[in-house]
Each structure stands twice: as structure tokens, then as C-alpha cells.
Amino acid sequence: MRVAVLAAEAVPYSKTGGLGDVAGALPKALRRVGVDSLLITPLYRQTKENLLDHLAIDDLRIDWRGREVSAQVYYSEASGAPTFLIHAPEMFFRDSIYGYREDYERFAFFNHAAIVLLRRVGKPLDIVHLNDWHCGFAAVEIAKLRRYGDGFWRNTRTVFSIHNLAYQGAFGMEELWKLGFGDDFSRNAFAFDGAASAMKAGLADSDMLSTVSRRYGFEIQQAENGYGLDWLLRQRSDRLHGIVNGVDYDVWNPETDPELPAHFSAHDLSGKRECKRALLNKFFLPENLDQPIFASVTRLTAQKGFELIQQAIGEILATGAYFIALGSGAKESEDFLQRLRNHAPNQVGIYIGYNETLAHQIEAGADMFLMPSRFEPCGLNQMYSLRYGTVPIVRAVGGLDDTVGNFDRVSGAGNGFKFDEFRADKFVEKIYEALFNYHEPEVWRRIQGNGMTIDNSWENAARKYVRLYQMTRA
């Protein structure tokens, strides 16, 4: 089976969040389970040059907005799978990966270039695996090529994965003409609520749909979480499958992680104490190893429920615990963190910004990880936390609900703490429940062990994708 994965971001080339982790890991995992996979992603200014192996195509000719433009394509295997990076500097060499008025146009170009590239590479594909709204354009283009009886694409099927329905890539319907989607077939796919939606196009025109957890798969079929597209997801529910993301244990493994000052495993946690000491030192916090560290590593957006942390933080600090946060995003949340640190400099450590190394060190050094999301399609940090013996306290939504089980003192089952309603008092209850158990070391080690020994590997998830790919033929 031959599969091309398309994604707007992919580790190690680019990343703003979990999509990058997933797109970087899935093609490699697919290869490990016997699939001939490759990855296509844009080459950004942020992409480290030393990851590129060679210039594969110097002059990829692309019809674009009525004229012919040329792009280059670089080749790399740094992701663990053959990777083609589309180099079109005017589109992708910018200060950030997203956030431009014409993002829809940039990613429409990326999709179109990927399709031209795949044909140029020459071997027909069984599956083109598309991710989030940035790849909705390719779903329509491939469906159209098939309708027109194009021999190269005749046997190709598309799978579209929803990582976050909240971002839809909306733009004006009048733009569709310029992007080559002016025909009725395409317009119908994109049309949504008086505008064009790249997300809707992907959902409408892909052979198979998936999302990154089972629970999120149900949630988005309800009006409250459907962003106006729940009807379409209900209509296509026989095509919609939930597959929880994996963890790339080549990157997130406390036994080998090169970012850590000491290593540890479920059998020997002594290295974790060293990581905790180093983390406290790093943030110039007093070295009181008996006090727990609550941590958060996150994009500061409405999705992540940061206001619950804001409301609960007083209670956390009143117990004497530490709080360490790494994140960037909404200015109000960043300002709040600054004020909090000024207010309690001996208990609070913050880093505003993006820092990969620190993300690893926090996962390793902290005791509890806070993730009270409003919604969470999958969430990766709670799974990283599990592997690093950092007990997650999460809201029971989306992938958080699928991956974290509330600890039960009687049976000894469960790997974290989980609350339902989006309310600070419910969150605080779980924080106290966690603290109560934290102060019984044997019980705590049990909870940690339950999390550390779970197999959330990508190979598991990759096998599920293979079955999904096979189902596109059924």
C-alpha cells in the first residue's frame, strides 16, 4: 500500500502544536507496519536547513491563478520517512507559519503543488491522507480528477483527518475562481454559510474521515461542538472514525530523552527527582522537593480552558505547591502569568514563548500536569505526561477522556484525575484529590506506574489507520 501524508506542519521541520507532532510521526510509524508512506509539507523559514538532504526538483511547474509558476522541492528523511518539502519562498518564508489574511491561498497552493509533485514522482497512490483545513483543497482536486477519469488518480482514495474543527480556513466564495475551484462541483464542496470553507470541502469530498479520538468523533456530531458542520458529520458518520494519536517514543521517552538532566523509568524513578531538582533550579525556585509541582505547557487559547487554571491557582498556591507554566498566545493569559509570578516568585515559574527543550524538562520534572480544556480533539501533552510519570489532571472531553482514567483507590486502577463540568470548583476538587494521593508515596507510585506502562505507541495507531485505508476500498 502506498500512502502520501500531506500536512501544513510536521516535526522535525515545523511545529506550532500537536498537528506537527502527529504529521511528523505517522509516516514513520506507517513504514514500521509495512506501508510505503511519504510525507509532503511546506518548507518554512523556520525549517532548519541541516535537516534537508538534497534538492530533488529544481523546477516544479505549477499552473497557479492562470499563470505558470515554479517551485523547488527538497528531499529529507529526517522525519524517518521520505519527505518532500515544497519550497516557494513568497508563500512560506514568513515570520510565522500561520496567521496571514491569505493563508487559504498559501495552503491551496501547497495542496496543488503536492498533487503536481505526486504525479511527477510517478508512482500512483492508494491513499492520500489529508490533515485539517489546510488540506481540504486537495480532497476536492483529487475527487475532481477522478470524476474526469484521470488515469493516474483513478485508484487513489482520500482520507481526511480532523485535528481541530475550530479552525476552518474560511474565505470569500469569489476567491474560488482564482484558485481553480470555480466549477459547480467544487463550489458546492466549499460552500458553507455564505463563505468558502476549506474544512467543509475536505469533509464533503474525502472518501473517508477520521478524527483524533473516539469521543471527539461523537462530540463534533453535536450542535454544541460541531461549528455548524455537525449535520455534515452526522450525514457521513458511517465514514467517520476516531483514532487516538500515538506518542513518538523516539522523541518522548524518559529513559532516553536527550533534553533531560537524568533518566528514569517506571522501575526506577530516582532520575525523576533529579529532573525535578533541575527544573526548580532552572526557574530559580527554592529546592523543596517534597512540595509538588503543578505544570502546564500549552498554547494559550480559549480551547485550553486556561481560565480554570486562573481561578484555581490561588487554591493550589495556598497548599504550598509550585506552579510552572510554559506557553504563549492570548495576551491576557500571558499578562496573568507575569502578574502571578511577580506575586509569588518563590512558587511560580513561567516561560512565555515556545521552547521545545523546556517542554521536555517540564514533563519530566513536574508532578502533576493540568489540562482543563474546554474541548480537546486528542491532546498529546497528557500522554507525554503519562509516560513521564507526571500525573494528568484533565477535563473529561475529547481525547483527554479517551486517554486518562480517574484513579480509584479501591481497585488501584486509573492513571490520572478527571472532572466533567467546566467549573473551577470541580477542577479544584480534583486537584485536592490528586494532592491527597500525592502525600501517600506508595499510592502515588501506583498511579505513576499505571500511566508509565500504558502503550500509546504510534505503531498501534498506525495499524488502525491501515485498517481505515483498507476500508476506503470496501
- Residues 349-368 touching ligand ADP, rule: CB under 6 A, are 354-356, 359
From the list ligand GLC, ligand ADP, none, partner contacted by residue 326 (C-beta under 5 to 8 A by kind): ligand ADP
- Least separation in angstroms between CB 48 and ligand ADP: 16
Full 3-state SS string of the chain: CEEEEECCCCCCCCCCCHHHHHHHHHHHHHHHCCCEEEEEEECCCCCCHHHCCEEEEEEEEEEECCEEEEEEEEEECCCCCCEEEEECHHHHCCCCCCCCCCHHHHHHHHHHHHHHHHHHHCCCCCEEEEECHHHHHHHHHHHHHHHCCCCCCCCCEEEEEECCCCCCCEECCCHHHHCCCCCHHHHHHHEECCEEEHHHHHHHHCCEEEECCHHHHHHCCCHHHCCCCHHHHHHCHHHEEECCCCECCCCCCCCCCCCCCCCCCCCCCHHHHHHHHHHHHHCCCCCCCCCCEEEEEEEECHHHCHHHHHHHHHHHHHCCCEEEEEEEECHHHHHHHHHHHHHCCCCEEEEECCCHHHHHHHHHHCCEEEECCCCCCCCCHHHHHHHCCCEEEEECCHHHHHHCCECCCCCCCCCEEEECCCCHHHHHHHHHHHHHHHCCHHHHHHHHHHHHCCCCEHHHHHHHHHHHHHHCCC
- 12 near ligand ADP, judged by CB under 6 A: no
- 316 near ligand GLC, judged by CB under 6 A: no
- Residues 164-183 touching ligand GLC, rule: CB under 6 A, are 164
From the list ligand ADP, ligand GLC, none, partner contacted by residue 212 (C-beta under 5 to 8 A by kind): ligand GLC
- Least separation in angstroms between CB 196 and ligand ADP: 24
Among 12, 17, 124, 405, binds ligand GLC (CB under 6 A): 17
Among 328, 406, 457, 472, binds ligand ADP (CB under 6 A): 328
Residue nearest to ligand GLC (CB): 18
Per-residue contact string for residues 207-246; x = within reach of ligand ADP by CB under 6 A: ----------------------------------------
Among 141, 248, 376, 401, binds ligand GLC (CB under 6 A): 376
From the list ligand GLC, ligand ADP, none, partner contacted by residue 381 (C-beta under 5 to 8 A by kind): ligand ADP
Number of residues that bind ligand GLC (CB under 6 A): 14
- Least separation in angstroms between CB 219 and ligand GLC: 12
- 400 near ligand GLC, judged by CB under 6 A: no
- 169 near ligand ADP, judged by CB under 6 A: no
The residue ranges that bind ligand ADP (CB under 6 A) are 17-19, 21, 297-299, 326-328, 354-356, 359, 378-381
The residue ranges that bind ligand GLC (CB under 6 A) are 17-19, 22, 163-164, 212, 245, 376-380, 399
